[in-house]
């Protein structure tokens, strides 16, 4: 029963983050200094979640991002799934509870995610986001990510209990 609650919680959180990203935290209003709540959420899933359906939740989150941003379907879906799998693989080799690990995880995950999209798109079309902008977003995600991790972890612990 607990597992079902956890899956429901993650699905609802994923949906909530997509809604917040398209309203209050839309890059249309905030520019490059917007926190990518969905990426932070996928990093959380990759580092901490023990739920087996997490990969599908990460994929679904990316799909919703693709639909709402008018992007090519698959761009965010596959980059987020890929990020999740890499983090899941690495999470057994690192101490994920450490703040330093979380900071590095958030920063590098943003770079990884953009790298994936950059190489994928560069093969077909222009990519207008500069390296400086990607670095700026990595910093913002790291700063916003830590308190968000704390919030989701508390919620996760309550559902697990």
88 binds another protein (CB under 8 A): yes
70 binds another protein (CB under 8 A): yes
User: In the set 2, 3, 4, 24, which binds another protein (CB under 8 A)?
Assistant: 24
Q: At its nearest, how many Å lie between another protein and the CB of residue 157?
A: 23
26 binds another protein (CB under 8 A): yes
Which two three-digit tokens encode residue 134? Answer: 């990607």
Handedness of CA 92, 94, 99, 103 (dihedral sign): negative
- Binding segment for another protein (CB under 8 A), chosen from 65-73, 94-102, 140-148, 152-160, is 65-73
**At 150, is the secondary structure helix, strand, or coil?**
helix
126 binds another protein (CB under 8 A): yes
Crossing angle (nearest 10°) for helices 37-48 and 2-22: 160
**At 100, is the secondary structure helix, strand, or coil?**
helix
146 binds another protein (CB under 8 A): no
23 binds another protein (CB under 8 A): yes
| C-alpha to C-alpha distance for 124 and 120, rounded to whole angstroms | 8
User: In the set 9, 11, 19, 135, which binds another protein (CB under 8 A)?
Assistant: 19
125 binds another protein (CB under 8 A): yes
Residue in the structure block whose two tokens are 């890929």: 82
50 binds another protein (CB under 8 A): no
Q: At its nearest, how many Å lie between another protein and the CB of residue 20?
A: 8
DSSP 31: G
How many of the other CB atoms lie within 10 Å of CB of 18? Answer: 21
């Amino acid at each position: 029963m607990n597992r079902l609650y956890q899956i429901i919680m993650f699905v609802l959180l994923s949906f909530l983050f997509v809604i917040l990203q398209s309203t209050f935290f839309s890059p249309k209003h905030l520019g490059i200094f917007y926190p990518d709540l969905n990426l932070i959420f996928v990093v959380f899933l990759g580092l901490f979640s023990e739920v087996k359906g997490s990969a599908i939740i990460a994929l679904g989150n990316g799909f919703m991002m693709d639909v709402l941003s008018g992007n090519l379907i698959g761009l965010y879906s596959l980059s987020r799934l890929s990020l999740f799998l890499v983090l899941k693989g690495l999470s057994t080799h690192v101490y994920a509870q450490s703040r330093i690990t979380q900071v590095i995880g958030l920063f590098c995950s943003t770079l990884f995610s953009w790298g994936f999209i950059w190489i994928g798109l560069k093969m077909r079309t222009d990519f207008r986001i500069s390296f400086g902008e990607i670095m700026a977003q990595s910093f913002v995600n790291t700063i916003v990510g830590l308190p968000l991790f704390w919030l989701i972890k508390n919620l996760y612990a309550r559902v697990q209990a």
